[in-house]
């Protein structure tokens, strides 16, 4: 997990460890300890989007390109406390 200010830059869980609650615990830790309140997720990753929605994040903006200008739509999400 990488956080800059209150923005989640990345959260990766190895395939073998998925489904064990590690992502949930890391995200909760980021919210509680770092006041994490927003993130961007690739629109083509519906599992990640669903996870963040389950954790209380909602989409507030969509872009056609990622932050490097590549044609990968991003969904920007905020934590709805």
CATH class of the domain defined by 2-79: alpha beta
Domain residue extents for the chain: 2-79
Confidence (pLDDT) at 42: 96
Provide the edge-to-edge strand list for the sheet that holds 7-10.
2-4, 7-10, 38-42, 74-79, 57-63
> Helical H runs in the chain?
22-34, 46-54
Confidence (pLDDT) at 10: 95
Question: Considering the entire predicted model, what is its pTM?
Answer: 0.91
Confidence (pLDDT) at 80: 87
| Mean pLDDT, each 10-residue run in order, the chain (81 residues) | 96 94 96 96 96 97 95 96 69
């Amino acid at each position: 997990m990488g956080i800059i200010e209150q923005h989640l830059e990345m959260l990766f869980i190895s395939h073998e460890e998925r489904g064990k609650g590690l992502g949930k615990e890391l995200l909760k830790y980021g919210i509680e300890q770092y006041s994490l309140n927003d993130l961007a997720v690739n629109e083509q990753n519906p599992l990640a989007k669903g996870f963040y929605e389950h954790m209380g994040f909602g989409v507030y903006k969509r872009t056609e390109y990622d932050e490097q200008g590549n044609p990968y739509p991003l969904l920007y999400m905020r934590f709805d406390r």
